[in-house]
Amino acid sequence: MTEFTGVAKHMARYIFITGGVVSSLGKGLASAALGALLQARGYTVRLRKLDPYLNVDPGTMSPFEHGEVFVTDDGAETDLDLGHYERFTGVPARMTDSVSSGRIYSNVLEKERRGDYLGKTIQVVPHVTNEIKDFINIGDDEVDFMLCEIGGTVGDIEGLPFFEAIRQFSHDKPRGQCIFMHLTLLPYLAASGELKTKPTQHSVKELQSIGIAPDILVCRSEQPIPEKERSKIALFCNVRKEAVVAAYDLKSIYEAPLAYHRQGLDQAVLDAFGIAPAPKPDLRVWEDVNDRIHKTDGDVKIAIVGKYTQLEDAYKSIKEALVHGGMHNRVKVNVNWVDAEVFDNDDAAPYLEGYDAILVPGGFGERGTEGKIKAAQFAREHNIPYLGICLGMQMAVIEAARNVAGIKTAGSEEFDHEFGEKRFEPVVYHLKEWVQGNAKVTRKQDDDKGGTMRLGSYDAVLGDGSKVADIYGTTNIEERHRHRYEVDTTYRTKLEECGMTFSGMSPDGRLPEIVEWKDHPWFIGVQFHPELKSKPFDPHPLFKDFVRAAVENSRLV
């Protein structure tokens, strides 16, 4: 690798990614793809997300607000963009890779209450901005490049402290150690047949008005950008013409690294830092990924039975993990979203017939759970591959208890708590204590909701000879969790006598981690979230085998 010149080797170079014109332009995807391209050139990277909303973290948000909550190994509840970062770079995200305005202000107020500011008047500048800068600086000596994405769009009131902080940060660091990358939209007006550059000009002008001059512009466009428009953008936005990078719509997000490389994004970044000659990229991993996406030997149809099906981002990691499983098996996975509430009180068969496999994901609350229980029953009775994740595992256990073990009123303590009246025999109960590392964690039913679940990475021990041990190729695994309810082992003996095996347990043997039906071709429920660790170049074992089972089932029909 070419060594950096002029900057101490232990100091990271910073790339700040901002957005303008409209939201949802794909800053997270662009950041992740750029991280992958820098890795392909031999550099180490870490990606961070700075969100302007006042929630301390997304943990208590509805999935309809910001999509899924992505959980890290160390137990942080973060924005789904951190999932993109992990899937594209393979670098495990940490608690220090995500922060919100809520967390920043909370930290500042805690310090003020302790007297850390020595009686000073607390202000956005410098106290809030200093807190943001301290966060950005964490791990400065660990990687070659630190990519920091600022949520929202330039001009948002709540985002101003973050923009001011990164402006100050770039001046605090040695010259040439920070650059700014700005994503904008180039709308196409069909009536005139033109791409309009004015929204981009205004967005850059807004950014410049707060003291930040972008070094690179990434322009989302449905049409190729003519040289005339590219030159116009460069002239009026004060960037080099080579630093105006086109970002076109793609059939798959995993085309992004190669697409951005073809447009010269990674070269523009290295040029902005003055790194020359730059190491040549090794893109074989992404060429293989793209080959697997586009060259398939068939397809399978999988139903995701959930209650947030109107918003696919609510199950983002699950959908991507299925895609990864499909890539491994060289098949296209067609995902159909099935609203569990639709057959809460109806027969599930008309809604689930014709699928090669059924997946029931995690969730909270009683709404839609009767439909999920029926989905588990349909999969069990018709020998259809079934993967239950978190709540999906609990629904499979309740279904087994009701329809096989004869516990007709089986249910979850969660539903009775929500309803305010006892109606069920709780085969799933509120988890009051568990072991984390060498410490015991305790929780009460009336604790605050935020950050009080069993969160992050925990070990599990798999039973010898179990299907999951065969799938993983080991009896010791580590997976990420996000739940506050747990299957009660009091019912284990009765369920196992009926054929449901508790094939994965916590190391102390107290908490069920995995259940499976012995006499079923492929029926597995897991209390953790395997989708969070799946990557296109390293699919999760459960999703690889789940899709394989779906392929096998499709050939039996």
Dihedrals phi, psi of 386, to nearest 5 degrees: -135, 130
Please state the rounded mean pLDDT for residues 107-114: 94
Residue 9's pLDDT band, with cuts at 50, 70 and 90, is: low
547 occurs within a structural domain: yes
Q: Which of 52-61, 67-76, 238-247 has the lowest mean pLDDT?
A: 52-61
**Is 392 flagged in the annotation as binding?**
yes
Shortest CA distance to 12 belongs to which of 242, 169, 239, 243?
Answer: 169
Answer for the pair 385, 549: CB distance below 8 angstroms, yes or no: yes
Six-digit token string for 485: 């309810």
Based on the fold, state whether residues 322 and 455 are members of the same structural domain: yes
- Catalytic residue, from 68, 390, 481, 513: name it: 390
**Is 250 flagged in the annotation as binding?**
yes
Active site residue 110: no
Based on the fold, state whether residues 44 and 131 are members of the same structural domain: yes
Based on the fold, state whether residues 276 and 365 are members of the same structural domain: no
**Is 102 flagged in the annotation as binding?**
no
pLDDT(272) > 80: yes
Answer for the pair 55, 100: CB distance below 8 angstroms, yes or no: yes
Active site residue 498: no
**Is 264 flagged in the annotation as binding?**
no
8 occurs within a structural domain: no
Six-digit token string for 209: 């008005």
**Is 414 flagged in the annotation as binding?**
yes
Based on the fold, state whether residues 175 and 244 are members of the same structural domain: yes
- Distance from the Cα of residue 228 to its chain's centroid: 38
529 occurs within a structural domain: yes
10 occurs within a structural domain: no
Of 256, 289, 322, the residue that ends a domain is 289
Rounded CA separation 449/380 (Å): 34
Of 226, 260, 289, the residue that ends a domain is 289
The answer to pTM > 0.85 is yes
9 occurs within a structural domain: no
Active site residue 171: no
Based on the fold, state whether residues 327 and 461 are members of the same structural domain: yes
Answer for the pair 549, 357: CB distance below 8 angstroms, yes or no: yes
Based on the fold, state whether residues 213 and 302 are members of the same structural domain: no
Helices (H), 57-194: 63-66, 81-89, 101-114, 129-136, 160-172
Based on the fold, state whether residues 279 and 316 are members of the same structural domain: no
Length of the chain: 557
Residue 437's pLDDT band, with cuts at 50, 70 and 90, is: low
Based on the fold, state whether residues 285 and 324 are members of the same structural domain: no
Domain span at 362: 297-554
Query: Residue 495's pLDDT is what?
Result: 96
**Is 120 flagged in the annotation as binding?**
no
Shortest CA distance to 531 belongs to which of 512, 510, 546?
Answer: 546
More confident residue, 447 or 335: 335
- Catalytic residue, from 178, 219, 531, 540: name it: 531
The C-alpha angle 75, 77, 82, rounded to 5 degrees, equals 105
Residue 552: how many CB atoms within 10 A of its CB? Answer: 16
315 occurs within a structural domain: yes
- Catalytic residue, from 84, 328, 529, 540: name it: 529
pLDDT(90) > 70: yes
Rounded CA separation 74/59 (Å): 14
- For the chain, give the percent of residues with pLDDT over 70: 94
**Residue environment code for 415-433, b if the CB has 16+ CB neighbours within 10 A, otherwise e:** bbbeeeeeebbbbbebbee
Based on the fold, state whether residues 19 and 112 are members of the same structural domain: yes
Residue 440's pLDDT band, with cuts at 50, 70 and 90, is: low
Query: Residue 194's pLDDT is what?
Result: 85
**Is 221 flagged in the annotation as binding?**
no
Please state the rounded mean pLDDT for residues 85-109: 96
**Is 484 flagged in the annotation as binding?**
yes
Chain position carrying tokens 């993967």: 387
Six-digit token string for 183: 């994503």
pLDDT(403) > 80: yes
Helices (H), 186-241: 198-209, 227-237
**Is 147 flagged in the annotation as binding?**
no
Rounded CA separation 492/496 (Å): 6
Based on the fold, state whether residues 77 and 212 are members of the same structural domain: yes
Answer for the pair 186, 197: CB distance below 8 angstroms, yes or no: yes
**Is 198 flagged in the annotation as binding?**
yes
Of 244, 272, 289, the residue that ends a domain is 289
Residue 188's pLDDT band, with cuts at 50, 70 and 90, is: confident
Domain count, the chain: 2
**Is 47 flagged in the annotation as binding?**
no
Based on the fold, state whether residues 119 and 67 are members of the same structural domain: yes
Query: Which long-range contacts link 346-352 to residues 24+ away (Cβ below 8 Å)?
Result: 347/374, 348/374, 348/375, 348/377, 348/378, 349/378, 352/303, 352/305, 352/378, 352/379, 352/384
501: domain CATH number is 3.40.50.880
Query: Which long-range contacts link 308-311 to residues 24+ away (Cβ below 8 Å)?
Result: 308/63, 308/64, 308/363, 309/337, 309/338, 309/339, 310/64, 310/339, 311/63, 311/64, 311/67
342 occurs within a structural domain: yes
Q: Which of 38-52, 53-67, 98-112, 468-482 has the lowest mean pLDDT?
A: 53-67
**Residue environment code for 152-162, b if the CB has 16+ CB neighbours within 10 A, otherwise e:** bbbbeeebbbb
CA torsion sign for 101, 103, 108, 110 is positive
Cis peptide upstream of residue 277 (ω within 30 degrees of 0) = yes
3 occurs within a structural domain: no
129: domain CATH number is 3.40.50.300
Based on the fold, state whether residues 67 and 139 are members of the same structural domain: yes
Query: Which long-range contacts link 411-415 to residues 24+ away (Cβ below 8 Å)?
Result: 412/366, 412/369, 412/485, 413/485, 414/364, 414/365, 414/366, 414/485, 415/366, 415/369
Rounded CA separation 426/382 (Å): 27
